[in-house]
Structure 1
Amino acid sequence: MTTRTSRRAGGRQARQALRAAPLAKETRPVRAGLEGGAYKPLTQAGMERIHQAALDALEQIGLADAPQSGIEIMTRAGAILGDDGRLRFPRALVEDMLAKAAKNITLHGRDPQHDMNLSGTRVHYGTAGAAVHMVDVDGREYRDSTVQDLHDAARIADQLDNIHFLQRPMVCRDIPDNRDMDLNSIYACVAGTTKHIGTSFTEPDFVDDGIELLHMMAGGEDKWRARPFVSNSNCFVVPPMKFATESCEVMEKVIAAGMPVLLLSAGMSTATAPPTLAGTIVQAVAECLAGVVYVNAIKPGHPAIFGTWPFVVDLRSGAMSGGSGEQALLAAGCSQMHQFYGLPGGAASGFSDAKLPDMQAGWEQMCSNVMAGLSGLNMVYEAAGMHASLLGFCHESLILGDDIIGQALRCVRGIEVTEDAVDLDLMRSVCLGGPGHYLGEDQTLSLMQTEYVYPTLGDRTSPKEWAEVGKPDLVQAAKTRKETILAETSRAHLDPIVDQAIRARFNIHLPR
């Protein structure tokens, strides 16, 4: 009996020591770039039919409203301008540009440890969107989002292990000038995180200033071009099947500046996209294939993400239904099409229709995040923090989303069946004369941190223990962690001399 007590005590101390010690990145149970692909809602025949239908759409329907510069670029490559002003794309042209397109790309962080390799079925989760409101969890209210809110979101994301990148999740509504808003969005994000950042430009004329700002942050144009740590989220099409003229002009300029591009097609099924899920994917694929032609006609092999982002409408009200099972299916189906072409891809998944971080938000975010990850989606955008069908962003929900994504990533990782994993020696030892449990065994202790994921805030105590510690509330726990993070100096702050030069050149709204 004495021996068994000692084993339990020793095991408990060993487990505590293991939990306290930080794990190397490669030994963590979940991490950026785990390979998914186990979930396949589309059959091979289904993908082939979608591909052929998308090619037919490009050849027969084409896209309208390309800027004159884009018309010249794409017709030189082989697109055909019709009398109706629509550009049509022969199959051979699309196939030629697919052959030239970048298949494996790296999105850089300011800190190289946050670099993301987008290839195959490697999965990464992050934020995105253009929410116009912030969720106040205390008052259960919505208010306009500000540049400080954006900066705080970047600082929080920087310290969450399962948030792998930060695409600007909200609009700085306290900055009425669009040029200033674009530049301050870049500044607020870069000064808040060293992870890869995605942002957008309102007008083509604002790009040059944005690139100048990034050169200053990077330490020069050469360093920026070597490791561009910000990408352009570009809604280059207005579904159905029209180019967004000014966004296309932005895209041409950022490509020349060496900035990676997210080719974003965001049709809404039954509204600006066909009513069937398969038809919605066809249109999104066709539009993004047009983007592949456009990008590679400008610069073959330029880093571009195949951004099929179709959404779902609740036909009872006409409102977006981002937390639906159909939304999760669309993201997973689009992921398969990215793999069909061998292109790095991204889609929206993990956001909620719920107005607050409640049970509805939890089931909606978990469902689509798991399905997107299992499908092998390279970039899972909107994965945490987004509410009210993209209208509201919540810092506390971003923190809680880190736990959700941790569990989703564990599902993505799957079960490794190795020789050691199914060896019976340990089972024999425990069952035939041993203690009758595995708690103190060496294998248990060695796998405790590498095989299992533990939520940071999720509560796994018994009801008795929960009551003894004051019945803690999950959202309040997230708020406390938010306040702790924001009480510290940003780990991504810019060099004071560089920051002073930036503030002398641009109208930066964030206080020092």
Structure 2
Amino acid sequence: MTDTKTKVRRSGGRAARVALRSAPLAEDKRPVRAGLPGGKFKPLSDAEVLRIHHAALDALEQIGLSQAPPSGVAILTRAGAVLGDDGRMRFPRALVEDMLAKAARNITLCGREAKYDLHLTGSNVHFGTAGAAVHVVDLETNTYRDSTAQDLHDAAKITHALDNVHFFQRALVARDVSDNLEMDLNTIYACCAGTTKHIGTSFDDPGHVGPGVELLHRIAGGEAAWRARPFVSNTNCFVVPPMKFAEESCRAMELCIAAGMPVLLLSAGQAGATAPAPIALAIVQAVAECLAGVVYVNAIAPGHPAVFGTWPFVSDLRTGAMSGGSAEQALLTAGCAQMHRFYDIPGGAAAGISDAKLPDMQAGWETGITNVLAGLSGLNMAYEAVGMHASLLGFCMESLVLGDDVIGQVLRTVRGIDVTEDSTSIEAMKAVCLGGPGHYLGSDQTLKLMQTEYIYPTLGNRMSPKEWNEADRPMLLDEAIKRKNEILDKAQIKFDPEFDAAIRKDYNIYFE
């Protein structure tokens, strides 16, 4: 009698679970979502954070940055920076502190659709692409080929379909576009035609900013609409580590700020090469360089939206090659995130890079370790989190798809454990253990929490060996290829045909 009841209950519970899992959840009920607060992992003590902060201020005051463009010299000296006889721009402590007080906080990076807005406040965490790879990993042949504008457009379309990839920064370079201005314009249009999530791009030449902004005005529906909701940010490598301004990029940044475009202040030194080898000192240099950027931006337009982009990378000191998937990289990124929180300004850094050439076990552990530390540290913007191989030289569409599962699991760790009166009540235990079925399968509590407390992989395989064999032994990469193709075959975000035709008439667009 008891066995029969148990079997009936389990069968009913399974049917209920299946029905429940097929029902869509409201955004605020999903187990993971964009903007979950992190910050529980802190690799640095409070005293160590202060030591890094003071060392960064010392570096700005005593070493300074060289090669500021004439426009930057005028902007920075007018604000209170000091140009030395050696040509280096030095920053008094009081100036840095004043500009930090003016810096934008709690900013929003807009999508073309408001539901994709990224609210960069506190320790809210977001994951997305980046990297400007020059090759695409072709899993059909396990080879690398030159990336194209069509690849960039496809990557944007795939990103749009992935719940856990929250923004699309240019992940690869359109190498089939030889003219640099046409490349920048194709990059903007390929991204915007593929997704309505927030987009990041960069300009190779300050002369390209004007034409790029004109195109963005057309996409937005006019300058006023663009300025009200700028949906593209400028990724700006305004420094060339160690401690030098990048003149062309600084001029481009000035023009982007005037155009109302949010900026990512990107410092990308490589520890042991263009940044110091000690992890702590690599963070010091990155913080110092980005603090110089904070002064620069706020001297132009106080409170302009800017992301504090400390992106120090790691070298394999045996060879000098970049090792973006290393444990040291994970610690660097987490330490930078902690410094962002110390300054209480929006921050971004690199995570999720793999040095592996293909989506294999090495790629899995490198992507997982670096992303989970980024999330747990409360990094506002984790760039390069999905798809990147060969230390940023290769981009893999299938890894982008697989990365959606990785980031989903990472976000679940970021969310943490909900400890409430309900979640620690022993009433459910009493119902099961005292005269109940002796298990929690099919219980009301289990059914209630199975979608809101737990996340399930889209492609990750949890079959038993028997089930896997009966299903003809599906392989993960084959499933990733299949899902990639399904996404690309479906209807995508497209502009109105008349608008698209007008753009293609006025610009040389390289993708379909």
Contact 1:127–1:383 under 8 Å retained in 2: yes
Give me the TM-score of the superposition, normalised by structure 1: 0.99
Superposition deviation, residue 69 in structure 1: 0.4
- Of 226, 232, 235 in structure 1, the residue corresponding to residue 234 of structure 2 is 232
Aligned 1:165-204 pairs, distance under 5 A: 165-204=167-206
Aligned 1:44-443 pairs, distance under 5 A: 44-443=46-445
Superposition deviation, residue 7 in structure 1: 1.6
Contact 2:17–2:442 under 8 Å retained in 1: no
Superposition deviation, residue 103 in structure 1: 1.1
- Of 33, 36, 43 in structure 1, the residue corresponding to residue 35 of structure 2 is 33
Superposition deviation, residue 503 in structure 1: 1.7
- Of 6, 11, 14 in structure 2, the residue corresponding to residue 12 of structure 1 is 14
Superposition deviation, residue 349 in structure 1: 0.5
- Superimposed CA distance per residue, residues 336-361 of structure 1 (whole angstroms, 9 cap, x where no aligned partner): 00000000000001110000000000
Superposition deviation, residue 150 in structure 1: 0.4
Of stretches 248-257 and 17-26 in structure 1, the one that deviates more from structure 2 is 17-26
Superposition deviation, residue 185 in structure 1: 0.5
Indicate the SS of the match to 2:248: helix
- Of 445, 460, 463 in structure 2, the residue corresponding to residue 461 of structure 1 is 463
Superposition deviation, residue 37 in structure 1: 0.4
| Map of 2:501 onto structure 1 | 500
Superposition deviation, residue 502 in structure 1: 1.6
Give structure 2 stretches of 5+ with no counterpart. none
- Superimposed CA distance per residue, residues 365-420 of structure 1 (whole angstroms, 9 cap, x where no aligned partner): 00000000000000000100000000000000000011011100000000010000
Superposition deviation, residue 316 in structure 1: 1.1
Contact 1:349–1:380 under 8 Å retained in 2: yes
Determine the C-alpha separation between the residues in 2 that align with 1:5 and 1:270.
Answer: 63
- Partner AA of 2:333 in structure 1: A
Determine the C-alpha separation between the residues in 1 that align with 2:275 and 2:36.
Answer: 32
Of stretches 1-10 and 472-481 in structure 1, the one that deviates more from structure 2 is 1-10
Contact 2:201–2:233 under 8 Å retained in 1: yes
Indicate the SS of the match to 2:195: coil
- Partner AA of 1:464 in structure 2: K
Which portions of structure 1, spanning 4 or more consecutive aligned residues, are displaced by more than 3 angstroms?
none
- Partner AA of 1:285 in structure 2: V
| Map of 1:482 onto structure 2 | 484
Determine the C-alpha separation between the residues in 2 that align with 1:65 and 1:82.
Answer: 12
- Superimposed CA distance per residue, residues 455-482 of structure 1 (whole angstroms, 9 cap, x where no aligned partner): 0000000111111111111011000001
Contact 2:147–2:174 under 8 Å retained in 1: yes
Determine the C-alpha separation between the residues in 2 that align with 1:53 and 1:34.
Answer: 31
Contact 2:134–2:172 under 8 Å retained in 1: yes
- Partner AA of 1:291 in structure 2: G
Superposition deviation, residue 440 in structure 1: 1.1
Contact 2:137–2:143 under 8 Å retained in 1: yes
- Of 449, 452, 464 in structure 2, the residue corresponding to residue 450 of structure 1 is 452
Determine the C-alpha separation between the residues in 2 that align with 1:258 and 1:363.
Answer: 39
Determine the C-alpha separation between the residues in 1 that align with 2:154 and 2:20.
Answer: 31
Indicate the SS of the match to 1:191: helix
Superposition deviation, residue 439 in structure 1: 0.7
Superposition deviation, residue 495 in structure 1: 1.7
- Superimposed CA distance per residue, residues 118-153 of structure 1 (whole angstroms, 9 cap, x where no aligned partner): 011000000001100000112110000000000000
Determine the C-alpha separation between the residues in 2 that align with 1:427 and 1:320.
Answer: 52
Contact 2:128–2:383 under 8 Å retained in 1: yes
- Partner AA of 2:9 in structure 1: R
- Partner AA of 1:483 in structure 2: N
Superposition deviation, residue 318 in structure 1: 1.3
Indicate the SS of the match to 1:262: strand
Contact 1:284–1:309 under 8 Å retained in 2: yes
Give me the TM-score of the superposition, normalised by structure 2: 0.99
Contact 1:216–1:498 under 8 Å retained in 2: no
Determine the C-alpha separation between the residues in 2 that align with 1:392 and 1:259.
Answer: 28
Superposition deviation, residue 504 in structure 1: 2.2
- Partner AA of 2:127 in structure 1: Y
Superposition deviation, residue 505 in structure 1: 2.0
Indicate the SS of the match to 2:224: helix
- The alignment's C-alpha RMSD in Å is 0.7
Determine the C-alpha separation between the residues in 2 that align with 1:489 and 1:219.
Answer: 23
Indicate the SS of the match to 2:194: coil
Superposition deviation, residue 275 in structure 1: 1.0
The aligned length equals 510
Determine the C-alpha separation between the residues in 2 that align with 1:83 and 1:287.
Answer: 20
Indicate the SS of the match to 2:204: coil
Indicate the SS of the match to 1:127: coil
Contact 1:126–1:164 under 8 Å retained in 2: yes
Determine the C-alpha separation between the residues in 2 that align with 1:240 and 1:155.
Answer: 37
Determine the C-alpha separation between the residues in 2 that align with 1:214 and 1:433.
Answer: 66
Determine the C-alpha separation between the residues in 1 that align with 2:506 and 2:223.
Answer: 17
Determine the C-alpha separation between the residues in 2 that align with 1:465 and 1:289.
Answer: 55
- Partner AA of 1:504 in structure 2: K
Indicate the SS of the match to 1:187: helix
Superposition deviation, residue 501 in structure 1: 2.2
Determine the C-alpha separation between the residues in 2 that align with 1:504 and 1:292.
Answer: 40
- Superimposed CA distance per residue, residues 80-133 of structure 1 (whole angstroms, 9 cap, x where no aligned partner): 011111110000100000000001100000111000100110000000011000
| Map of 2:510 onto structure 1 | 509
Contact 1:65–1:244 under 8 Å retained in 2: yes
- Partner AA of 2:165 in structure 1: I
Contact 2:272–2:320 under 8 Å retained in 1: no
